[in-house]
Structure 1
Amino acid sequence: MLLVQGLYQGHLLMGSPTGPVQLGNMADPVAYISLVGIIAMLSLMAVGARWAVLGGVLTSAVLAFAGGFWVLPDAPFFLPEGLDRTGLQLIFMNGWENVKVCDYADLSLVLTLFLILSGWGGLKALAPHLDDGQMGRSLLSLSGLSFIACLLGTMPLTAAPESAAGQAMGGRTGRMGYWTAAFLALLLFMEPTLQSMASFPSIFAPAFAGAGLVLLLRMKPVFSGGIADKVAAGLLFLILPLTQDVAAGLGAACIAYVSLTLLSGGHVSRFLRVLAVAFLLYFFYGFWSIL
Structure 2
Amino acid sequence: MPLLESLFRLKAHGTTVRTEVLAGFTTFLTMAYVVLVNPLILSNTGMDLNAVFVATCLAAALGTAIMGLVANYPIALAPGMGLNAYFTFTVVKGMHVPWQAAMGAVFISGLVFLAVSLFKVREAIVNAIPRSLKFAISAGVGMFLAIIALKNAGVIAADPATYLTLGNMHNPTTLLAILGFFLIVALEYRRIHGSIIIGILVVTALSIVLGLSKFQGIVAPVPSMAPTLMKMDLHGALNVGLLGVVFVFFFVDLFDTTGTLIGVSHRAGLLDRDGKLPRLKRALLADSIAITAGAMMGTSSTTAYIESAAGTAVGGRTGLTAVVVAVLFLACLWLSPLAMTVPAYATAPALCYVAVLMARGLAEIEWNDLTESAPAVMTALAMPFTYSIADGIAFGFISYAMIKILAGRFADLKPAVLIIAALWVVKLAMF
Residue 389 of structure 2 aligns to which amino acid in structure 1? Answer: V
Q: How many residues end up aligned between the 2 structures?
A: 279
Structure-to-structure mapping, 1:133-148, within 5 angstroms: 134-148=279-293
Structure-to-structure mapping, 1:79-98, within 5 angstroms: 79-91=221-233, 97=236
Partner Cα separation in structure 2 for residue 132 and residue 183 of structure 1: 27
Change (3 A) 1:133 1:11: closer
Please list the CA deviations of residues 224-250 of structure 1 after superposition, one character each: whole Å capped at 9, or x if unmatched.
584333222212222221231334322
Residue 153 of structure 1 aligns to which amino acid in structure 2? Answer: G
Partner Cα separation in structure 1 for residue 253 and residue 365 of structure 2: 21
Q: Secondary structure at the match of 1:72?
A: coil
Is contact 1:123-1:135 (8 Å) kept? no
Residue 85 of structure 1 aligns to which amino acid in structure 2? Answer: P
When normalised by structure 2's length, the TM-score is 0.58
Is contact 1:110-1:247 (8 Å) kept? no
Is contact 1:235-1:249 (8 Å) kept? yes
Q: Secondary structure at the match of 2:165?
A: strand
Q: 1:153 aligns with which of 286, 292, 298?
A: 298
Aligned-pair distance for 1:145? 3.4
Aligned-pair distance for 1:274? 2.1
Match of 1:240 in 2: 383
Gapped runs of 5+ residues in structure 2? 1-143
Aligned-pair distance for 1:173? 1.2
Check if 1:101 corresponds to 2:240: yes
Change (3 A) 1:109 1:99: closer
Change (3 A) 1:146 1:16: closer
Aligned-pair distance for 1:32? 0.8
Partner Cα separation in structure 1 for residue 180 and residue 159 of structure 2: 24
Aligned-pair distance for 1:49? 3.3
Please list the CA deviations of residues 113-166 of structure 1 after superposition, one character each: whole Å capped at 9, or x if unmatched.
223223333333423138578323432343233322332223433332222442
Aligned-pair distance for 1:214? 2.4
Residue 163 of structure 1 aligns to which amino acid in structure 2? Answer: S
Structure-to-structure mapping, 1:20-169, within 5 angstroms: 20-73=163-216, 76-91=218-233, 97=236, 101-102=240-241, 104-124=242-262, 125-126=264-265, 127-129=270-272, 134-169=279-314
Change (3 A) 1:223 1:38: farther
Identity, % of aligned pairs?
19
Residue 241 of structure 1 aligns to which amino acid in structure 2? Answer: P
Partner Cα separation in structure 1 for residue 404 and residue 427 of structure 2: 21
Partner Cα separation in structure 1 for residue 227 and residue 365 of structure 2: 44
Is contact 2:196-2:314 (8 Å) kept? no
Change (3 A) 1:259 1:52: same
Q: Secondary structure at the match of 1:83?
A: coil
Partner Cα separation in structure 1 for residue 193 and residue 232 of structure 2: 39
Change (3 A) 1:100 1:30: farther
